[in-house]
Structure 1
Amino acid sequence: MIVFIFSFLYLVTVIQANLLGNFTPEFFDINIDRNHPEKIYKAFEEFTIKYKRNYKDLAERKLRFNNFVKSFNKVDKLNSDAEKAGYDTSFGINKFSDWSSTEFSSALSHVPPPPPSVDDVPRLNITIYGKVNETRFKRKSTRYPDSFDLRDIKKNGRYIVGEVKSQGNCACCWGFAVTAVMETVNAVSTGKFTSLSDQEICDCGTEGTPGCSGGNLPMGIKYVRQYGLSSDNEYPFDENRAKKSRKCRVKSTTRIIPPEYNGGVIVIDDCYNAAEWHAGAIVGYGTTEDRRGRLHNYWIIKNSWDDDWGENGYVRIKRNVDWCAIEESPVTADMSSA
């Protein structure tokens, strides 16, 4: 019996999107408004206080300030362009704003997604959407609601989407995305939510390469099918552990998921010709109206950069336009029981 409905699974499809685009070091100019130089210095001071930055010396502080200015100028330009275009997108300074493009690149996967196969494409037949218009959707399987958000769904009084986690300085976004999917699959299948081990997938889900160097989403799903997955408590995350290979300690942990499954919207795509990739989990979708009355369909993406990034750890990205290759290589999973 399939205990996790396929329409539901489609919404937790793992996505992989190229997020850096042409953000090379030369892309930004280190320019300070000569008429109001205090603006940028004040913003930098506020940034260092908010994110508790303690630079080792004046040389590092100057380097970080220059990186911050690049980010600050980029944010200003993005917000200006969005306002001129009438979009409701809002960009801002975040905890990565004093990083160089090289540092940020090191936190992203450099392993491109594989070409999609028939087995990777999620099945789209709808059985039920919670308790909303259940009869209508059973009778007419091609009809979708206008919006849907897994974060609103509970099973046995517990939400089925877990808290946003942080991958730290490790390019294991692919592992966090797989785990996010499996947590929700497991919660619906068993009726109990358990935070699952991102570290296990990062340590064990590659073919011998360090998981912090990036990984393959279908391989992560395949790993869980073959070996199951333990809990976060028993196999906790360490952002430095998977920077070396052969760290897998799966034999010493208890399986929560058993093997073989027994049981503001970003509109502009600027990701061309880049080699870095990032993964997240789609937990819902919807439609919003911008300042000019235009409607924009969006995906709700659960990220792995902690809850102080984006919209409490989530981001809304334009839907049905393959933004930054987000819809080219989906991966999904289901859990069945006899």
Structure 2
Amino acid sequence: MFFGLLRMVKFYYIALAMMACCAIQVNGDPSDDVEAAWENFQAHNPLKKDASPQEIAKRKTNFAKAHSMIERHNKNKNATFQMEHNKFSTMDDDEKKQYNGARPPPHHESSKFLNVDDIAVSTRQLPASLDYRTDVCLTSVKNQGSCGSCWAFTAIAPLEFAQCKKTSTPIVLSEQQLVDCDTNNGGCNGGWYTSAWYHLKNGCARQSLYPYTATKNTCKYTSAMSAATVSSYGSVTSNSPASMQLVLQKYGPLAVAITVVNSFYAYKSGVYTDPACDNLPVNHGVVVVGWGTLNGIDFWIVRNSWGSSWGSSGYILMQRGVNKCGIENYPAVIVSVA
């Protein structure tokens, strides 16, 4: 009986040990989780071989902050969008800001406001969804790099689309021309898309003749390079989603400005609804290329200029009808090309 009791006690302690071990494996050590994520990230995004210990430590600290934000957000069952690690995970805030660059002019120049009453379509005729992503006239997503030239990319995509619709031939145009030559804007230090369209009334070069370098250089544009010319453009009524839809359907992609905050950099999928970006000054230019509804949430389909590896193949779905991140404040569109 004594030995039987001893065996029972021994079994009890073994069971407790196994339960403790399982608990450690299930709950895990947060530091182990970060280490594993860091090692995996490094396997696909290695730092420069000559990176100093101080540089590595700084990048790892930035990554840990991003990892905490992403993990906490993705575990929220009520989240309408998901986040992931990408090239921004190891960047400082100042480095991230270099990928923005929307700078509204002090006195918003008087581009004509489009009168939606003149557009022969009613809101009752608007489809439930519209998506130009698969349209042959919308070029592949581009990458501005660490140059605050989003305004140039926001200006060029609608021009490419409009020119293609006129000629029935896809065309890829030059953002670098704007960065180098548009003196009303600031190159890699930011600018505004309607100011860029004003400059492009004198013609826009093909990208093949004026390739992108992500730095501001001496202007090399000549009229012989021109492949498209802006004839007229207009602003769309602010804070009027229906007006945006009407114009988007009639003329094509809309240039808009938004406010980018930390969660935006890590966007992966779903409808972006973060309230942290609301009621703040805009800082980034993007292009609206459609609309739809997902899980009861209306959204805009938004084309970014951070390459196809960011977000959903270079795109993000942003909540529609609530002026999310200021997206409905400054919509504008190219009306015609020469």
Instruction: Tell me if TM exceeds 0.5.
Output: yes
Alignment of 1:41 with 2:35, yes or no, is: yes
Displaced runs of 4 or more, over 4 A: 113-118, 138-142, 272-276
Residue identity matched to 2:219:
C
Does residue 161 in structure 1 map to residue 148 in structure 2?
Answer: no
- Whether the aligned pair in 1 keeps the contact of 2:143 and 2:306 (CA below 8 Å) is yes
Q: Would you say the 8 A contact 1:147–1:286 is kept in 2?
A: yes
Which residue does the alignment assign to 1:156? none
CA distance in 2: counterparts of 1:74 and 1:271, whole angstroms: 16
- Alpha-carbon distance, 1:89 to partner: 0.8
Aligned partner of 1:233 in structure 2 is: 208
The TM-score normalised by the length of structure 1 is 0.74
- 1:223 corresponds in structure 2 to 199
Q: Distance in 1 between matches of 2:124 and 2:186?
A: 42
- Paired position in structure 1 for 2:274: 268
Is 1:60 the equivalent of 2:58? no
Structure with greater strand share of residues: 2
Written as runs of structure 1 = structure 2, the 5 A alignment for 1:178-193 is: 178-193=155-170
Q: Which has the larger radius of gyration?
A: 2
| Offset from partner CA, 1:211-256 (integer Å, 9 cap, x none) | 100002210111112x11011100000012x1x6xx2221265110
Q: 1:47 to 1:139 in 2, by over 3 A?
A: closer
Structure 1: distance between partners of 2:38 and 2:112: 45
Deviation sequence 1:69-99 (CA, Å, 0-9, x none): 1111111232234x2xx24311111111100
Which one of the candidate residues 90, 94, 113 is aligned to 2:82?
A: 90
CA contact (8 A) 2:141 2:314 kept: yes
| 2:96 alignment partner in structure 1 | 104
Q: What's the secondary structure of 1:238's corresponding residue?
A: coil
Whole-angstrom distance in 1 between the partners of 2:297 and 2:332: 24
> Is 1:80 paired with 2:75?
yes
- 1:170-181, aligned counterparts within 5 Å? 170-181=147-158
The letter of the residue matching 2:86 is N
Residue type at the aligned position of 1:270: A
Larger helix proportion of the pair: 2
SS, match of residue 308 in structure 1: coil
Distance 1:75 1:275 in 2: 24
SS in 1 for 2:152: helix
Distance of 1:184 and 1:204 partners within structure 2: 22
CA deviation vs aligned residue, 1:285-312 (integer Å, no higher than 9, x gap): 10010xxxxx111011111000000000
Distance 1:329 1:259, change over 3 A: closer
Tell me which amino acid in the other structure corresponds to 1:111. Answer: R
Quote the Cα distance in structure 1 between the aligned partners of 2:219 and 2:327: 30
Q: Give 2:189's match in structure 1, choosing from 213, 224, 230.
A: 213
Identity value in percent: 26
Task: Please identify, of 317-326 and 101-110, the stretch whose mean Cα deviation from structure 2 is larger.
Answer: 101-110
Deviation of 1:35 (Å)? 2.2
**Mind listing any 5+ residue stretches in structure 2 that lack a counterpart?**
1-26, 233-269
CA spacing shift, 1:115–1:316, aligned 2, 3 Å: farther
Contact 2:229 2:337 in 1 (8 A): no
| Residue 125 (structure 2) aligns with | 143
Name structure 1 gaps, 5 residues minimum. 1-32, 128-137, 154-158, 290-294
Name the structure 1 match of 2:329: 328
- AA aligned opposite 2:85: I
| Greater RCO (CA < 8 Å, at least 6 residues apart) | 1
- Per mean C-alpha deviation after superposition, the further-off stretch among 59-68 and 86-95 is 86-95
| Separation in structure 2 between the aligned mates of residue 276 and residue 124 of structure 1, nearest angstrom | 25
